[in-house]
Amino acid sequence: MITEKMKDVSPIYSAWIGKSVVLLVDLRRCHVPLPCSIVGESVADLRILITPGWEMDVRKELILAVEENIALRDNEIAGYSAQVN
């Protein structure tokens, strides 16, 4: 991200940075759920992490909704408790 551009950012997605989320993205009139983690924000784009080592930018104008990824959180918790037992 370019530092100069970050000064003009309206931090719409800042509360979601670093969290596991599902973005509902509009791709050619199809609403596609995109599980990811938000790692950065610029004026026009979100930088997301799809899998470790694979990041991409998504235009904010294509994002219809953001939700916390509860399913992943439940799996992480279940995986953790399985290791403890």
- Residue whose structure tokens are 């000064």: 7
Q: Coil, helix or strand for 73?
A: helix
- The per-residue pLDDT for 7 is 55
Give the pLDDT score at 57. 96
Which domains can be identified in the chain, with CATH numbers?
A: 3-84 (2.30.30.100)
Average pLDDT of span 49-75? 85
pLDDT-derived band at 12, boundaries 50, 70, 90: confident
Mean of per-residue pLDDT scores for the chain = 78
What b/e string do you get for 21-51 counting C-beta neighbours within 10 Å, with b at 16 or more? bbbebeeeeeeeebebbbebbeeebbbbbee
